[in-house]
């Protein structure tokens, strides 16, 4: 009898420990641009990343506000001060269950940050000449 209890406890602990910190990727969304880009006079400054998260007790009761995609988008844009808008946007939602406490939902955003093309400065204008 004691052997069965030990086996049951071992199997259940292994099963419950696999739930701790597991990542479940729910959905991936892809968008062309955050705003309408009407010209080709831009340069890609780099790849920006942002994220926001929320915690739910027992996976149902929210403790924090739900993840905000706009906040994650602004974090991606803030990393490049010259950035004007985002293109090639990928939004991914991920659930991380922490048994028995609750669930953390994370929204990841990655996008190309776009800025204005830099105009070459004429040497005469730089020195104050005509």
For 52-68, write each residue's pLDDT tens digit. 999 999 878 889 998 99
Rounded to whole angstroms, how far apart are CA atoms 130 and 125? 7
Mean pLDDT value across residues 112-116 = 87
Q: Give per-residue pLDDT as tens, 78-88.
A: 988 888 889 88
Is residue 47 within 8 A of residue 23, CB to CB? The reply is no
Rounded to whole angstroms, how far apart are CA atoms 80 and 95? 28
- Indicate whether 113 pLDDT > 80: yes
Rounded to whole angstroms, how far apart are CA atoms 26 and 78? 26
Q: What is the pLDDT of residue 40?
A: 76
List Cβ neighbours of 8 (8 Å cut-off, separation of 6 or more): none
**108 vs 97, more confident:** 108
**37 vs 113, more confident:** 113
Domain boundaries, the chain: 22-119
Q: Give per-residue pLDDT as tens, 13-40.
A: 555 555 555 556 666 777 777 777 777 7
Give the pTM: 0.67
Q: What is the pLDDT of residue 16?
A: 53
């Amino acid at each position: 009898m004691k052997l069965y209890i030990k086996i049951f406890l071992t199997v259940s602990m292994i099963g419950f420990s696999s739930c701790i910190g597991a990542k479940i990727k729910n959905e991936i969304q892809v968008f062309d641009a955050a705003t309408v880009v009407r010209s080709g006079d831009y340069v890609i400054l780099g790849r920006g990343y942002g994220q926001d998260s929320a915690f739910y007790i027992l996976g149902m009761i929210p403790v924090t506000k739900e993840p905000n995609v706009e906040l994650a988008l602004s974090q991606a844009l803030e990393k490049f001060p010259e950035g004007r808008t985002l293109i090639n946007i990928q939004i991914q939602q991920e659930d991380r269950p922490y048994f028995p406490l609750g669930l953390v939902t994370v929204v990841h955003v990655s996008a190309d940050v776009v800025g204005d093309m830099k105009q070459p400065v004429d040497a005469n204008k730089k020195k104050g000449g005509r």
